[in-house]
Copies of this chain bind each other. A is one copy, B any other.
Amino acid sequence: MPIPADQQIPLVDRLTELSGGSYSPETRRKYYISGPQWAYAYEGHALFHAATRRPVPFEEVIRALGEIGISCWTTHDTDVIPTDDLMTDRQAETVAAIKSALEANDVRCSMVTCETFHHPVFAASAAAEAPEVREYAARRLTNTGTLGYMIQGAIDETQTLSWFADGINAACERDIVVAKERGRDTLKHCLEAKPFEPVSQIILPTSDAMLAFISSGLLTHPEMVGLNPEYLHELMWGAACRAALARALLCGKLWHFDINDGYPLKHDVDLGVGLVNPLDWLNVLILLRSHNYEGPFNLDFKPPRTTSNHGVYKISFPTAVDRFITLWEIAGEAIEDPVIKEATEALKAGGGASGAGSADDIVAANQELLSLHELIPHRLFQILIGQHKGRVFG
């Protein structure tokens, strides 16, 4: 029995409500979560996929974020200003309109990023061989871009990287001037790595490669440059995202974090956080809570092609926020769990080394203790599903 079009939204809304488990806008606003213009307004298209949703202007995105309880908005320059209008008076007009919309909805802009990959001028990357491309990119105050190739051999990667450093240096130096003029601090310039796609191979493919680049000596202001890792971009090269974030934390460079989900070593599907790898996400959030990460969590995902504009507002964004909050709270439970605490302390105490301290002595002294390495992940499974709170089955 077909369901007529006018009964579909009521059905969807009723089932969504029935699922429950949602947090109030006030609760959601307590977390440092941002909603990207490009995510909310994504039309469901891809190379082999025509659009399935209508465009959504920034006024509507910002109003929706305010209603849902997402306190910050992020954007690319060209998400809201056509390329031709950039660096003209029309840019100033749009920026003013954005400010009004943000104020009216109690949302603030937490991050703006430069698009340096979509326009044909960047066909050979923002660090292209032709100097006029690089000058234009520097004018656009490049903070990141797609440095890569479809086929190896046409460029010398060390040259490209030094040109890319020139662009970042120009951006930092310009920011220092502007900051002085306006009496504000300089901005945090965050690099976001991705290993491949749309090109075959990207030359700074991972957060680690960017950390090495920042400290390579090519940057004039490395202290102004940090990272914006994305969960799925790390999975795309098969990384343990948690370990990648730990390395960034060690270098003091974890400044912004794009949250979503997807499948390891596949393309950039940008699913909603927690829909694929909830246990891995729990591990990630345990690390970040343990290390007092207080930076933003940016909802960089794409609502699926099957979701309508209404569904983006009622399902995609609210449920993504709610799964994030839920996993954050479960991470707090894991950190306080007495089994994990005692097991961890016992492992750190070790068994001591009886005998002469040979390798074999140390093995014998620790052998039984090391079984705790397997108990801890079992306990994390239990905490994820709620067994430590008495959930029973059958």
Among the 9-residue stretches A57-65, A166-174, A305-313, the one with 4 or more Cβ atoms under 8 Å from chain B is A305-313
Task: Give bound CA distance, A348 to B16, whole Å.
Answer: 18
Q: Could you say which residues of chain B place their CB within 8 Å of the CB of A150?
A: 269, 271, 304-306, 373
A381 near B283 with CB under 8 A, answer: no
A250 near B200 with CB under 8 A, answer: no
B279 near A266 with CB under 8 A, answer: no
Q: Mark A201-232, 1 if CB is under 8 A from B, else 0.
A: 10111101101110111100000000000000
Q: Could you say which residues of chain B place their CB within 8 Å of the CB of A156?
A: 246, 287, 290
Query: Which of B19, B118, B204 makes the CB contact (< 8 A) with A49?
Result: B118
B287 near A378 with CB under 8 A, answer: no
A256 interface contact, C-beta 8 A: no
B307 near A242 with CB under 8 A, answer: no
A187 interface contact, C-beta 8 A: no
- What distance in Å separates the Cβ of A55 from its nearest Cβ neighbour in chain B? 15
- Find residues 144-172 in chain A having any chain B CB closer than 8 Å to their own CB: 146, 150-154, 156-158, 161-162
Q: Could you say which residues of chain B place their CB within 8 Å of the CB of A34?
A: none
Q: Mark A56-74, 1 if CB is under 8 A from B, else 0.
A: 0000000000000000000
B44 near A47 with CB under 8 A, answer: no
Interface size class of A (residues with CB under 8 A): 35 or more
Task: Give bound CA distance, A275 to B372, whole Å.
Answer: 14
Contacts A46-B198, A121-B362, A375-B15; A218 near B250 (Cβ below 8 A) = yes
A376 interface contact, C-beta 8 A: yes
Q: Could you say which residues of chain B place their CB within 8 Å of the CB of A100?
A: none
Task: Give bound CA distance, A304 to B216, whole Å.
Answer: 31
Task: Give bound CA distance, A251 to B157, whole Å.
Answer: 13
A112 interface contact, C-beta 8 A: no
Q: Could you say which residues of chain B place their CB within 8 Å of the CB of A201?
A: 239-240, 243, 263
Please give the count of copies of this chain that the complex contains: 4
A246 near B157 with CB under 8 A, answer: yes
- Find residues 270-315 in chain A having any chain B CB closer than 8 Å to their own CB: 271-272, 274-280, 283, 286-287, 290-291, 303-308, 310-311, 314-315
Query: Which of B5, B133, B213, B264 makes the CB contact (< 8 A) with A263?
Result: B264
Query: Which of B198, B246, B316 makes the CB contact (< 8 A) with A47?
Result: B198
A105 interface contact, C-beta 8 A: no
Q: Which residue in chain B gives the minimum CB-CB distance to A156?
A: B290
Q: Could you say which residues of chain B place their CB within 8 Å of the CB of A326?
A: 385, 387, 393
B238 near A266 with CB under 8 A, answer: yes
Q: Could you say which residues of chain B place their CB within 8 Å of the CB of A387?
A: 20-21, 326
- What distance in Å separates the Cβ of A81 from its nearest Cβ neighbour in chain B? 13
Q: Could you say which residues of chain B place their CB within 8 Å of the CB of A249?
A: 158
- What distance in Å separates the Cβ of A309 from its nearest Cβ neighbour in chain B? 9
Contacts A15-B343, A211-B212, A379-B19; A350 near B247 (Cβ below 8 A) = no
Query: Which of B121, B306, B339 makes the CB contact (< 8 A) with A373?
Result: B306
B247 near A153 with CB under 8 A, answer: no
Query: Which of B44, B157, B371 makes the CB contact (< 8 A) with A306?
Result: B371
A359 near B83 with CB under 8 A, answer: yes
Q: Mark A350-394, 1 if CB is under 8 A from B, else 0.
A: 111110011110111111111111111111111011111101011
Query: Which of B275, B310, B316, B365 makes the CB contact (< 8 A) with A368?
Result: B310
Further 12 A-B residue pairs, CB within 8 A, beyond A2-B351, A124-B306, A206-B206: A21-B382, A49-B198, A123-B370, A151-B304, A151-B377, A152-B276, A154-B373, A201-B243, A211-B215, A212-B215, A263-B264, A330-B393
Those 9 A-B pairs whose CB atoms lie nearest each other, nearest first:
A130-B350, A311-B371, A2-B352, A8-B368, A211-B212, A157-B246, A386-B386, A329-B393, A215-B215
